Every structure is written in C-alpha cells, then in structure tokens.
C-alpha cells in the first residue's frame, strides 16, 4: 500500500512539474535593462507585459557613468529618488527639470547638480517625461516617475540608443534620428506644436489598414475628425481612452456630429495613462502628450514617431493591446466600417 501511494505521489509530482514547465515555456520573456543593453533596436516596456519599469529606470540611472539629464512632470517614486540621490553624491553631472519633485528640497544644489523647477503657470504644464544617460541612452514615454505611474497605471516607455536623440532632449529641440535603420522624428512642444499636430494628422490620414490609439485624454477635435474619416474610408480604427475622460470625449464627438466610432474605455481600477498610437503595424507615435488641445497648444510636451516597426516591437505592441482590451467596454455603439459591410453583403 505504501509503495502504491509513493508511486502515485511521484506521478502526481511529475505531472505538476511538466505542466509548470510548459507554462513557463509558453510565457513570453520579460524584457529588462539587460535586454536594452544587448539590443540594437529600440525596446518597448510596459506593465501589460509584466515588466518592472521602475526597476528598469533605476538600473538605467545606476548605469550612468558621466551624466544624467531628466525632464519630468512629476518625480516622487522613492526608489528612483534614492538612486538619483546616490548619483548626486558622486562627481557625475545631474540635471533635473521638473514641475513637481518632492525630494528636491532635501538636495543642495552643487557644482555638478542642477535642479530646475518649472512651476505651473496659467494652467500650462511642464509635462515631459524624458531621460538621457551619458548623452547616448534615451528613455521616454507616458510614465511619470511616481509609484502609481510605474507600478499600477497602464504606461509605456521606450529605451533607445541614440546620441542625437539625447541631444534633442537636452537642448529641448526637435529633430530626426536613425537607430539601426529605423527612422525617428522627435518633436518638442509648444515650440513645434503646429508641425507636431500636422504630422499626427498626416499619419492618420494616410493610414491604409489599421489605426490603434491608446490615449489617456483624446479630445482634440481635429484628431477625432481625422480618426472618424479614416474609419469611414474603411480603415480599421480602434481607440481606447481612460474612463476619466468619457464625458468630455462624448461632448467633443457630439459637437463634431460623430455618433459611431470604435472607442472603448478602460474599466479596471487604475488609469489608462498611455499616449501611443500604431499605424498599419509600421509606425509608432508615443510620448508625453495627450491628444488634447492643452497637449498640442499649451503644455511643454514631447512626441516621438518611430517608423518601420520590427517584428519584435509589433509583437510587444500587440500584446499590450490584447491586455488592454480585456478590461474595456464600448463608449459608443459600434457600426461596421464600409469595408466590413461589403464583406458581410458578399
């Protein structure tokens, strides 16, 4: 009897181990800071892919050899503040442009440390979220350096090896760059707001097959109109916004006379704080900017457009989108676009 029980236990353990190993084998690998160091192409990170963006940024700060430059709307995450404090004790050059930095008062400015506050003036925000390390590694996206943003909310950051992009971030100027044969455009606002807006509209207007938009606040009338026109001409348009902007988005759509557009709202507890779009699985638009009037006309913002997305980047973006759609409901009644109607009638 005892031998039979032991045999059954061994079989049970073998089955459990096999199932567990199978799950591990199927689970996508998480990208880390080491992934970035080994990669020649820009690397996308997101909570939806179970990646620890806080740790990745801490590792990036730790990795700095000479210089750290940050433009950030809100900086309060304790671990990041601690990493910055440690680097301030060295002879590395540290520059932080911020609107809110809770630990700023505890640091004495010195020859190698510059803390530049950008106070809120007449509702205008210094809303950028960009980091340049040693003038060669650039990090930007939708995440503030806070616990909520990096741990709980839905956000995306992009790590890139580009001295030219680092230079644009440091000088707060727009320009083009190339990373491993991928062309990129970087815009700083408000100084280049008209060019940035016209470029976004052009990307939507020239979309051929698909447009995915995940946006905390999507209220700019020109962009909503362009998305609607793309939907009307047969492009598969899918939009997701945060529930906090449900009312104002509906109001803007009503003013434009738009009653049918595939827009969903996130229903889970924490915020959809993303600010990205993917055009035809070829082009990624990402940055600090909400697609709102304040974003394009008043605030200090950044917008990056990355062309010729790789298979790895598309897999990551598709995974992010699939996860977002699990926790969403339609904002407007969905109607088939003309192309789908033709397919059903055939």
Domains within the chain, CATH numbers bracketed: 33-172 (3.30.870.10), 182-333 (3.30.870.10)
Nearest CA to 52 among 38, 36, 67, 74?
A: 36
Selected residue with higher pLDDT from 281 and 5: 281
pLDDT at 16 over 60: no
CB 44 within 8 A of CB 285: no
| Mean per-residue pLDDT of the chain | 90
State yes or no: pLDDT of 14 exceeds 50.
yes
This prediction's pTM: 0.88
Q: Say what the pLDDT of residue 4 is.
A: 57
**1: pLDDT strictly greater than 80:** no
């Amino acid at each position: 009897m005892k031998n039979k029980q032991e045999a059954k236990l061994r079989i049970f353990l073998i089955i459990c181990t096999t199932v567990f190993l199978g799950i591990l084998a199927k689970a996508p690998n998480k990208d880390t800071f080491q992934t970035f160091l080994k990669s020649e192409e820009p690397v996308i990170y997101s909570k939806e892919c179970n990646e620890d963006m806080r740790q990745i940024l801490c590792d990036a700060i730790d990795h700095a050899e000479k210089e750290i430059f940050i433009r950030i709307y809100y900086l309060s995450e304790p671990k990041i503040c601690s990493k910055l404090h440690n680097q301030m004790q060295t002879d590395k050059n540290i520059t932080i442009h911020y609107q809110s930095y809770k630990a700023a008062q505890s640091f004495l400015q010195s020859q190698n440390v510059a803390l530049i506050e950008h106070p809120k003036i007449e509702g205008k925000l210094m809303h950028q979220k960009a980091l340049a390390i040693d003038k060669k590694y650039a990090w930007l996206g939708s995440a503030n350096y806070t616990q909520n943003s990096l741990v709980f909310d839905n956000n995306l950051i992009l790590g890139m090896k580009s001295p030219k992009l680092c230079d644009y971030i440091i000088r707060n100027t727009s320009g083009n760059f190339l990373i491993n044969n991928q062309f990129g455009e970087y815009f700083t606002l408000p100084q280049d707001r008209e060019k940035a807006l016209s470029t976004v509209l052009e990307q939507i207007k020239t979309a051929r097959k698909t447009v995915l938009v995940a946006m905390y606040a999507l209220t700019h009338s020109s962009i909503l109109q362009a998305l609607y026109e793309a939907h009307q001409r047969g492009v598969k348009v899918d939009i997701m916004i945060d529930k906090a902007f449900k009312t104002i988005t509906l109001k803007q759509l009503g003013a434009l006379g738009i009653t049918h557009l595939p827009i969903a709202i996130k229903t889970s507890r924490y915020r959809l704080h993303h600010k990205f779009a993917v055009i035809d699985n070829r082009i990624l638009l990402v940055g600090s900017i909400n697609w709102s009037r304040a974003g394009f006309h008043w605030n200090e913002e950044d917008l990056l457009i990355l062309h010729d997305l790789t298979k790895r980047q598309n897999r990551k973006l598709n995974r992010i989108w699939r996860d977002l759609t699990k926790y969403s409901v339609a904002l407007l009644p969905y109607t088939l676009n003309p192309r789908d109607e033709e397919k059903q009638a055939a």
